[in-house]
Amino acid sequence: MPLSRLPSAAMDQAMRLLGAAGQEEAAIRQAAWVARCVGRGESAPLTPEAVAALAHTLKQHRVERGTLLFQGGQPAAGVWIVREGRVELSVGSGRRRAVVGVLRPGDVDGDISLLLDMPLPYSARVLDDATLLSLTASDFEHLLATSLPIARRWLSSVASRLAASQGRLLGLLGRSLTAQVAQLLLDEAVDGQVPLPQRTLAAMLGAQRPSLNKILKELERDGLVGVRYAAIDVLDPDGLAKLAR
C-alpha cells in the first residue's frame, strides 16, 4: 500500500480559493492528483487529454464513518480512490476476522476485481468520515481501452501493490510475532504514528490481541514505541528494523 502519500493541504486551500467559478479547474486538479497517485509514469507522461478524460468520469463522495463500502463476494461496482480518510479491508467476522489492509489517501481499490472479472475478495468499511472518488466499471474499462498513458500508469500502480503484498508475505513467513509486529509498524507508520487500535493490528497479523499487547508493552519498555489509545507511536524506527529482520 505504500503508494504516494501526498500532502494535500496546499491543494485543498487552492481549491477553496478558486470558488465555484473554478469548478471545472477543480475537477482537473482532482484528476491530476489521482493521476499522480495511480503509479509513476516517467516513461508515459500524461497528456492533457488523458487528464481531462479522467476528470470527466471521476465522481466525488462524502462518506461517513462506519459505512460499508462494499461486501466480499459481490461483483465490483467500480473503482474507489481514497481522497481523505481511511478504509479497512477485511474478511470474516468475529474472532476469525482478518484485516487484509488499510487504505489511506492516494490508495485505490476495486480495480483488480474488475480487471479479472471476479467477485470482491474482501469487504471494505470506512474508518473515518472520508472523501472518496469513484469510477464506474464501464468508465474504467473505457479509460484503459483508449488511453495508453493511463493504462501504463495503472500498470505500475498495480505492480506496486503486488510488491507490497509480496513484501508482507515475506514479513509473515517463519518470523516470530515480535518480528512481524516490528515490520507491520514500520510498514503502516505515517509521520511516526500508526493510528489503529490493537484489535485491528492483531487482525492484520492473524494474531490474538493479548499476544500483540504483550509484545507492544515490551517494545514500549525498550523505548522503541509509545502506546497510546487506539494508536502507536514509532519512536525508534532503526531499532524496530533491527528486530524485524
Partner DNA sequence: CCGATCCTGTCAGGTCACCGACATTCATCT
Partner DNA sequence: AGATGAATGTCGGTGACCTGACAGGATCGG
Considering the rule CB under 8 A, would residue 155 count as an interface residue with its own copies? yes
Count the neighbouring beta carbons within 10 Å of the beta carbon of residue 153: 24
**What beta strand segments (E) does the chain contain?**
59-63, 68-70, 78-84, 87-91, 98-103, 108-109, 123-126, 130-136, 193-194, 225-228, 231-234
Considering the rule CB under 8 A, would residue 145 count as an interface residue with its own copies? yes
Number of residues that bind its own copies (CB under 8 A): 43
- Taking the C-alpha atoms of residue 99 and residue 93, their distance in angstroms, rounded to an integer, is 10
For the chain, how many residues are written?
A: 245
Among DNA, its own copies, none, what binds residue 60 when CB lies within 5 to 8 Å by partner kind? none
Number of residues that bind DNA (CB under 7 A): 22
Closer to its own copies by Cβ: residue 88 or 111? 111
What's the angle, vertex CA 197, arms to CA 192 and CA 199, rounded to 5? 135
CA nearest 28: which of 2, 54, 6, 4? Answer: 54
Residue 201's SS3 state is helix
Q: Which residue has the cell 503508494?
A: 3
Considering the rule CB under 8 A, would residue 206 count as an interface residue with its own copies? yes
Asked if 3 and 160 count as a contact pair (C-beta separation under 8 A), the reply is: yes
Among DNA, its own copies, none, what binds residue 199 when CB lies within 5 to 8 Å by partner kind? DNA
Closer to its own copies by Cβ: residue 204 or 225? 204
- Inter-axis angle of helices 48-57 and 137-146, nearest 10: 170
Site string for DNA, 68-107 (x = CB under 7 A): ---------------------------x------------
Contact positions with its own copies (CB under 8 A) in 173-192: 173-175
Can you tell me which of 13, 23, 73, 98 binds its own copies, judged by CB under 8 A?
Answer: 98
Residues lying near its own copies in the complex (CB under 8 A) are found at: 40, 43-44, 91, 96, 98, 100, 111-112, 115-116, 118, 121-122, 141, 144-145, 148, 151-152, 154-156, 158-163, 165-170, 172-175, 203, 205-207
